[in-house]
Amino acid sequence: MSKLVTIYGGSGFVGRYIARRMAKAGWRVRVAVRRPNEAIFVKPYGVVGQVEPVLCNIRDDASVAQVMMGADAVVNCVGILAKQGKNTFDSVQSDGAARIARIAAEQGVEKMVHVSAIGADADSGSDYARTKAEGEAAVSEHMPGAVILRPSIVFGPEDQFFNRFASMSRLGPVLPVVGADTRFQPVYVDDVAKAAETALITPVEPGVYELGGPDVSTFRALMETMLHVIRRRRAVVNIPFWLASIMGLGFDTLNALTLGLIPAQITRDQVRNLRRDNVVADDARGFDALGIKPVAMASVLPEYLWRFRPSGQYDAIKESARNLRT
């Protein structure tokens, strides 16, 4: 019988790509999610019955253990950018990761991959960065042979980065950003999935791998690249950190008062994270150690950002028509 992998958060942005790769590799894939009915789209990644979404709440021991039973490997992709209800940074990224690793050790799971993030720091003033580091520590404690992947900002067709700002660019002549000079090293989502697949099916050294693409750019430069791809001219305006912190406080308060009905456009915690560069450390292991050559942004962004161009799918036709001579 083929091997089985349980992927917690397997219908999310990164998780779905890992699920697809593992299915193509011949593994049975159990996609553990809060709402299985909304994850039906993962089933065609394999043959009938090969990929199955199952109900799981990572805040509950019994739920985590049930969907892990019989698994040869475990992947944890669960993470949040802002707290919502009971899904806080501590409950999801710290306690949740610890629970998955502890139960994996108890059940004798052979391999584990944990998806964290560059910037994980136990001493950080950001709850996001702090709990990412706490989750990593717990995974290493319970599963010493685990591979921990720390990607920089992840991009791809379903991302909430380039898609979000490309959508914002349609609203006016100005595109506001916080931390315009902060550096990022965007990494293609399928390259992250390839790293996870490599860690699961080939012998690799355990520990932390920081994943970044071939391009290192400031936030402002990334927005200018995106604007070039979507054929729009906008002024990229930097919002000072002090003003962004006030805005974050306002949005956090509004979100709390409405019990989450009005999502925060930016939070104070996100502002804290934007103060630090998000790039691979000079002494870190990365894609090279896994034998992977990451894809550049230029080869991927036009494939999914075209819909934000002024004429959408017809933009290239209009550009070609301008060159016709009568």
- Does the structure show a pLDDT above 90 at 320? no
* 179 has pLDDT over 90: yes
Nearest to 194 by CA among 297, 291, 285: 291
Report pLDDT for 19: 97
Task: Give the 3-state secondary structure percentages of the chain, helix then strand then coil, rounded to 5.
Answer: 45, 15, 40
4 has pLDDT over 70 = yes
Tokens encoding 228? 């070039």
User: What is the arithmetic mean of pLDDT over 152-167?
Assistant: 96
The answer, yes or no, to whether residue 326 has pLDDT greater than 60, is no
Predicted local distance difference test score (pLDDT) of residue 319: 67
pLDDT of residue 293: 97
pLDDT at 258: 83
Q: What is the pLDDT of residue 61?
A: 96
CA 27 to chain centroid: 23
pLDDT at position 322 is: 67
Distance of alpha carbon 126 from alpha carbon 120, whole angstroms: 9
pLDDT score of 64 more than 70 = yes
The pTM of the full predicted model, rounded to 2 decimals, is 0.93
Q: Mean pLDDT across the stretch 255-281? A: 89
pLDDT band at 42 (very low <50, low <70, confident <90, very high): very high
Please state which of the ranges 27-41, 75-89, 106-120, 124-138 shows the lowest mean pLDDT. Answer: 75-89
What integer best gives the mean pLDDT of the chain?
Answer: 93
Instruction: Give the integer Cα–Cα distance in Å for 227 and 31.
Output: 36
Reported confidence tier of residue 257, pLDDT bands at 50, 70, 90: confident
State the pLDDT confidence band at 14, using cuts at 50, 70 and 90: very high
Fold of 4-155+187-212+279-294: Rossmann fold (3.40.50)
Please state, in angstroms and rounded to a whole number, the distance separating the CA atoms of residues 61 and 184: 36
C-alpha 216/C-alpha 27 separation (Å) is: 35
Domain borders along the chain are 4-155+187-212+279-294
pLDDT at 314: 67
Q: With bands split at pLDDT 50, 70 and 90, how would you rate the model's confidence at 311?
A: confident
DSSP output for 124-140: -S-HHHHHHHHHHHHHH
Cα 105 to Cα 184: distance, rounded to the nearest angstrom: 35
pLDDT value of residue 243: 96
Residue with the two structure tokens 């379903």 = 158
Helix runs in 143-263, H state only: 162-168, 189-201, 219-229, 241-257
Where residue 263 falls among pLDDT bands split at 50, 70, 90? confident
| Whole-angstrom distance, CA of residue 154 vs CA of residue 162 | 10
pLDDT of 318 above 80: no
Q: From residue 214, give the alpha-carbon distance in Å to each of 107, 186, 210, 288.
A: 39, 8, 13, 11
The pLDDT value given to residue 325 = 57
Q: Is 90 exceeded by the pLDDT of residue 87?
A: no
| Average pLDDT rounded to a whole number, residues 177-186 | 97
Do strands 73-76 and 51-55 pair parallel, antiparallel, or not at all (unpaired)?
unpaired
Query: Per DSSP, what are the bridge partners of residue 319?
Result: none
Predicted pLDDT of residue 55: 96
